[in-house]
Structure 1
Amino acid sequence: MANRLIHASALLWALLSLAPRPAHAESWLSDRMDVFGKVSVESRIFPESGIHPGQRSHASGLSLETTAYIEGDGSGSFTITPFLRFDAGDPERTHADLREAYFLTYGDAGDGEWELRLGIDRVFWGVAEARSLVDIINQTDLVEHPNAKSKLGQPMAHFTLSGGWGALELFGLTGHRKRTFPGEHGRFRGRPVVDNSRATYESADEEWHVDLAGRYSNSFGPLDIGLSVFEGTSREPAFAPVFVDQAPPLVVLAPHYEQIRQYGLDAQITTGPVLLKLEAIRRTGGQNRMMQEEDYTASILGGEYIINGPWDTNSDLSLFAEWLRDNRGRNATDALANSVFLGARLGLNDEHGTDFFLGVLDSREADSRVFNAEFNRRLSDSLSLHVESIAHIGFETDETVRDTSRDSFIGISLEYNF
């Protein structure tokens, strides 16, 4: 229900933004509203045929994300960001979402400040490059990209109190969002197909369960630290096979969202060109890959080294190294939860904002790894180019990731900003 309401709202806003407005409304809005966004045209080519029947070797589509910021009277504002995606290869990837739709108000609190956001918003926690273990407020929009970094908007009340002592954030969350999954013709999927219409919840309140979260953050010299806690409906589902009564018989996977508690720590120490990073969580209440309840601890420990002006140029080169650990071992729900990540990002600092990225995530428990290469460049003030390649190596010998062993791809997208 929550997903359908948000999808409908995103479509309605997109239609209203195209409708003509009365002259007096146009004048009022022009003084108080700022509208900006981006349109992206994307194409992906998969060199190998899919491991599952019906999977396509080429996917193309477009996306639209626009933000309207409306300044209110006094200390208040309203922000709305609808997102629309059309994909010609996988109907499940075609979707709409409200990334943001919240009212913001703020004021003074003694020597500090307070801020309140009511509505739909996105919140990010984390410092690591390869994964974001502590980032739990928003649901993953998995059909957008296999790196799981795109997030769905989450209904919330978000209160922040800040001062010289740090910042305290408190969250009340409801309207749980179901994770998006590729459909029968999509890539990056397992077997059987996930059927979101059959999702179940441990809580009797289902998606309307009220989740609670909090985070304290502060800086102590070179150290930036965040301590967080979350209690409520997990963003990561377990799966149960369901037999569909039809001819021929069909088996699908039904997501099941459990009640969990997660404690998180994220920290970064900055000393000149060296950044030391740590993310760690302790989670109770969830199931492992074998569908057995198991409490666990996971962490990412690593660093970043920044070289300014390498090879006597104006460029910046960042080198990354991270160690990922999950004490569930092969029973972890993320097949690459126990891995080593190495990467490098080169920014040319030219007028076109050109940058390159190379990275590899190498499993320490299986002979499988993921290579990632990216290239970004502005073609004009409004138009930019993004080229990406992801290669799955050794996946065919690892049963936990074999279903995506042929899903290496080359992608290209053109993005117009307005």
Structure 2
Amino acid sequence: MNSNLQHLASYKTAILAAIVLLPFGRVVLAGAPTFTPNIGVELRYFPDSPAFDGQLEHVQPSVAFGVEGRWVSDDRKKRVRFEPFLRVDAQDSERTHFDLRELTYSQRLSDFDLLVGSAQVFWGVAESRNVVDIINQFDGVENNDETDKLGQPLVRLGKFTDVGRFEAYYLPYFRERTFPGKDGRQRGPLVVDTDAAEFERGGEEFAGDFALRYQHQIDKFDIGAHIFYGTNRSPFFKLNGDGSRLIPVYQELTQGGVDLQWTSDAWLLKFEGIAAHSGGETYISSVAGFEYTFFDVKESGIDVGILAEGLYDNRDETQTALTLFENDVFLGTRITWNDVQESELLAGAVVDWESGATFGSIEFETRIGENMKFEVEAQILSSPDSEPLAQQERDSNITVRLTRYF
């Protein structure tokens, strides 16, 4: 998508969020909101030369601007969240983008609670991949690890009961995934032509999605279950007429899934699984594993966690969206210093046990003083030529980020 259309899509999201918030305008303005602006400077370095024509060479600097806005009524039954995000990238014009990560109004209504606006919703318990996490679209220009999300316009009605929490979602507008441009790294040999995106469902972006979610805690178990009907967040790709670009095709999706976590002292046992129908095919996808934590190692105050998960997906990628997680194992560690700087390191790798393709990552973050946050991220990619990951093998990188909060 060119920059003008990218901004137009973001403005559509802002307009939709404003429409659903409009009836509550008098309430929103009645309190005294708080705002915490931030600015982050990021430098991403690619040791290897690019694999494809037009890509940036080694250094990719950028600046990100954000605001964390909050408002809570005196009775704490009404809340507003406001979190816009803007990144300006010096190399890849597609990575320069604006998004409303959050612009929501929520209110308690007797036994119910209502949330409207543009929001980020997280479902799941696993570390390596969250197959049940379906509400938001991924922000593919921020990173390629499916952790950054775009804000999703929605209406959510929830209710707590003695047997758990029930939620109903209506998503009036679909967010297309963002992709690196011709200048960008972490892409394949062909650029994705987001201007030519196709949809299986009538109404395209405005077809509307629906979801039901159930959550409950029973003894040591945290239980979640959902049903979703709408547009698949992961597109299927086809070639354009002259074979020079990829066209994303957003297919219809029906999905049901569960997520379970069992907690006992230092142990966490985790499972996520879905059964889905998309592109004329029914498939299953799952993640299962554990996390064990050694607390206060040698009385140092440091906690060390060991993580292991297995990933499975049996979809036919000639019919539906591509996935890199088919028959993989994830091994990792989480180190928490428990210091005033809130220092933490997470390192791990997803390895395909059939081909040996590997996606490794290291993430470290710590606070500097009261108002600054320092982060280092590294990605290590290795793959045989027969695997899809081989297209990005030369895009291993290290990112340094410094964020100042005001």
| Mean CA deviation greater in 68-77 or 317-326 | 68-77
Q: Structure 2 residue aligned with 1:368, among 357, 363, 374? A: 357
CA distance in 1, matches of 2:398, 2:386: 23
CA distance in 2, matches of 1:116, 1:142: 30
Q: Secondary structure at the match of 1:251?
A: coil
Q: Secondary structure at the match of 2:176?
A: coil
CA distance in 2, matches of 1:359, 1:72: 42
Task: Please report how far the alpha carbon of residue 371 of structure 1 lies from its aligned counterpart in structure 2 after TM superposition.
Answer: 1.7
Tell me the alpha carbon deviations over residues 73-103 of structure 1, each in whole angstroms, 9 at most, x when there is no partner. Answer: 8632332211101111111011001111122
Q: Does 1:262 align with 2:250?
A: no
Tell me the alpha carbon deviations over residues 102-155 of structure 1, each in whole angstroms, 9 at most, x when there is no partner. Answer: 22111332xxxx110111111100000000100000101011111111111111
Task: Please report how far the alpha carbon of residue 7 of structure 1 lies from its aligned counterpart in structure 2 after TM superposition.
Answer: 2.0
CA distance in 2, matches of 1:294, 1:401: 23
Tell me the alpha carbon deviations over residues 29-74 of structure 1, each in whole angstroms, 9 at most, x when there is no partner. Answer: 7961111243211001100011101211110101112122234586
Kept in 2, the 8 Å contact 1:371–1:391? The answer is: yes
- Normalized against structure 1, the TM-score is what? 0.88
Percent of residue pairs identical = 34
1:350 equivalent in structure 2: 339
Structure 1 stretches of 4+ moved >4 Å: 1-6, 9-12, 28-31, 329-332
CA distance in 2, matches of 1:103, 1:375: 33
Q: Structure 2 residue aligned with 1:284, among 263, 268, 277? A: 277
Where does structure 1 lack aligned partners over 5 or more consecutive residues? 13-27, 245-249, 287-292
Change (3 A) 1:149 1:155: same
Q: Does 1:83 align with 2:71?
A: no
Which letter maps to 2:90?
A
Q: Structure 1 residue aligned with 2:290, among 303, 312, 317? A: 303
Task: Please report how far the alpha carbon of residue 243 of structure 1 lies from its aligned counterpart in structure 2 after TM superposition.
Answer: 2.8
Kept in 2, the 8 Å contact 1:367–1:397? The answer is: no
Which letter maps to 2:381?
H
Kept in 2, the 8 Å contact 1:2–1:175? The answer is: no
Kept in 2, the 8 Å contact 1:10–1:83? The answer is: no
Tell me the alpha carbon deviations over residues 194-236 of structure 1, each in whole angstroms, 9 at most, x when there is no partner. Answer: 0111011111211001211011110110000001010011111
Change (3 A) 1:333 1:281: same
CA distance in 2, matches of 1:10, 1:36: 22
Tell me the alpha carbon deviations over residues 225-278 of structure 1, each in whole angstroms, 9 at most, x when there is no partner. Answer: 00101001111111111136xxxxx71111111111000100000011100000
Task: Please report how far the alpha carbon of residue 337 of structure 1 lies from its aligned counterpart in structure 2 after TM superposition.
Answer: 2.9
CA distance in 2, matches of 1:151, 1:354: 24
Which letter maps to 1:260?
L
Q: Secondary structure at the match of 1:32?
A: coil
Tell me the alpha carbon deviations over residues 317-338 of structure 1, each in whole angstroms, 9 at most, x when there is no partner. Answer: 1110000011237767212332
Matches within 5 A, 1:373-388: 373-388=362-377
Q: Does 1:132 align with 2:130?
A: yes
Which letter maps to 2:300?
T
CA distance in 2, matches of 1:225, 1:171: 19
2:10 equivalent in structure 1: 7
Q: Structure 1 residue aligned with 2:326, among 337, 347, 352? A: 337
Task: Please report how far the alpha carbon of residue 415 of structure 1 lies from its aligned counterpart in structure 2 after TM superposition.
Answer: 1.1
Q: What is the RMSD of the two structures over their aligned residues, measured on CA atoms?
A: 2.2
